[in-house]
Amino acid sequence: MAYLLIVDDDLDFASAVSTVLSNKGYEIAIETDCAQALDRIRRQRPDAVILDVMFPENDKAGFEIARAIRREFGELPVLLLTAVNQSFPLGFSNKDLDPTWLPAVEFVEKPVDFAVLTAKISSILAAAKG
């Protein structure tokens, strides 16, 4: 089964997501720190990354990790957990949100509907396999 990495500073939320996805049969790891998350991706190469956007140290850290993933790992699927989209940018510039530039393949809005989340994970994993 696919190995997913959840990167979110809110451990309560990440644990809930992890429980649901584990019950769906996915292998799950959680990272609450951005730098360690990149380190783990380098070491373990998950099948997909589920990524929050705002972190305590930097409210755009999720975007930065997403770009670092694209640079280092090519087409590794990234799913962003956020209410951010093109017309709802929370003060981020449009360049940050350009979907052709930001290497997230999917956005899921918080609070997360688990049915939507699991459906999107299935679709990005299927797309990644080709």
Q: Which residues bind other proteins (CB under 8 A)?
A: 10, 12-13, 16-17, 19-20, 23, 54, 59, 83, 85-91, 93-94, 110-114
Quote the least distance from Cβ 86 to other proteins, whole Å. 5
**C-beta closer to other proteins: residue 60 or 70:** 60
Q: Which is nearer to other proteins, 8 or 41 (CB)?
A: 8
Nearest C-alpha neighbor of 86 from the set 97, 71, 100: 97
The C-alpha atoms of residue 18 and residue 31 are separated, in whole angstroms, by: 11
Shortest Å, Cβ 106 to other proteins: 16
Sign of the alpha-carbon dihedral angle for 123, 10, 86, 63:
negative
- The minimum distance between CB 49 and other proteins, in angstroms, equals 18
Report H helices in 9-113. 11-23, 34-44, 61-73, 94-97
Instruction: Say what the alpha-carbon torsion angle 20, 23, 26, 31 is, to the nearest 10 degrees.
Output: 40
**Cα distance between residue 44 and residue 76, in whole Å:** 12
CB of 35 to other proteins, least distance (A): 20
Q: Cβ closer to other proteins: 20 or 128?
A: 20
- Is 23 or 36 the residue whose CB approaches other proteins more closely? 23
